[in-house]
């Protein structure tokens, strides 16, 4: 959390988008809070439009509100508040939180972590208690790994990655073949896992190693808690895979796609770029680029704009 107050005018430089300000710029901000729980010393945001947005902004005790640039704030002209109007209030608020309200990580390797001597660990890395890092692993600069995480051998983690507690990266994929007697013969899993820069992996998520090549999570993608990603999967850049989703073996997910909670994508399929797989969908055939699919089995609903 922030240790000292900030002047609102100084905070606006980090918004990352054009803004229009109404009211005093010399206010001091001490905390960030939800709009319905904010007091006079807090900054908050409101993404609602029209009457509901005006009502929420008018009722909040906060005197510094980030809100939509499309709002007509003239009904609130008598309020002793400062309004910062932007195209995307939530994004502007997130940038402000990162700059002023989130503490910088401390790079500490907990004494109970077990790290193989062959692993390549950057000095600026945090590794939590009980975590195991196997042989031939690497962890890049600025990465934070929580408690009780397991990185199996040949797991390569990029820079500024966050892996939350209980995740298992690089376990064997589920690959078997029956012989003539019906016995199941294990297909050796010889590949690894590559997690590129700026990825986040949620708690208790499992990402299996590749069979012969690598399983890959692309730069900037975010994987939620309790997700299963099978062997040889390749997730593109800036994707989101949400809680309880399952990507079967060798699935390919294109850049900027979204896989919703409890969705299941059958092995060997491709999900196109900028596609959205809806809540609980069961995907049994390839998903084209730029579409929304949902249902059991999944069907195309509309273009994803």
122 is catalytic: no
CA distance 59 to 111: 50
CA distance 226 to 210: 19
Q: How far apart are the first and last CA of the chain?
A: 37
DSSP codes joined into one string, 56-73: HHHH---SEEEEETT---
- Bridge partners for 163 per DSSP: 145, 201
C-alpha pair distances (Å), 99 with each of 7, 11, 115, 279: 13, 8, 32, 33
Question: If residue 95 lies in a helix (H) or strand (E), which one and from where to where?
Answer: helix 89-100
Q: Which residue is listed with tokens 């009722």? A: 59
Phi/psi class of residue 280: alpha, beta or left (left: φ > 0; alpha: ψ in -120 to 50)?
left
CA distance 133 to 225: 20
CA distance 113 to 150: 10
- Contact at 8 Å (CB) between 162 and 202? no
Q: Pick the catalytic residue: 110, 164, 228, 231?
A: 231
CA distance 85 to 71: 8
Task: Please identify every residue annotated as catalytic.
Answer: 231
């Amino acid at each position: 959390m922030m240790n000292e107050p900030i002047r609102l005018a100084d905070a606006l430089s980090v918004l990352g988008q054009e803004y229009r300000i109404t009211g005093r710029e010399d206010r001091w901000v001490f905390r960030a809070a939800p709009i319905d729980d904010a007091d006079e010393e807090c900054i908050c945001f409101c993404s609602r439009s029209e009457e509901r947005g005006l009502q929420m902004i008018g009722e909040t005790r906060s005197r510094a509100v980030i809100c939509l640039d499309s709002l007509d704030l003239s009904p609130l002209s008598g309020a002793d508040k400062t309004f910062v109007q932007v195209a995307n209030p939530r994004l502007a608020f997130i940038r402000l939180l990162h700059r002023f309200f989130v503490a910088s990580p401390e790079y500490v390797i907990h004494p109970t972590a077990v790290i193989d001597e062959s692993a390549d660990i950057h000095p600026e890395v945090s590794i939590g208690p009980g975590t195991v890092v196997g042989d031939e692993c690497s962890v890049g600069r600025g990465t934070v790994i929580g408690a009780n995480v397991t990185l199996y051998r040949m797991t390569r983690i990029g820079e500024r990655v966050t892996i939350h507690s209980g995740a298992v990266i690089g376990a064997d994929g589920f690959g078997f073949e029956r012989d003539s007697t019906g016995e199941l013969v294990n297909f050796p899993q010889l590949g690894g896992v590559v997690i590129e820069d700026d990825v986040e992996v949620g708690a208790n998520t499992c990402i299996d190693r590749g069979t012969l090549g690598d399983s890959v999570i692309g730069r900037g993608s975010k994987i939620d808690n309790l997700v299963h990603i099978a062997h040889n999967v390749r997730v593109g850049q800036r994707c989101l895979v949400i809680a309880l989703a399952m990507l079967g073996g060798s699935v390919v997910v294109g850049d900027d796609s979204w896989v919703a909670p409890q969705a299941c994508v059958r092995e060997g399929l491709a999900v196109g770029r900028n596609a959205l797989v809806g809540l609980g969908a069961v995907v049994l055939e390839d998903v084209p680029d730029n579409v929304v699919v949902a249902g059991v089995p999944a069907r195309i609903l509309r273009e994803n704009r």
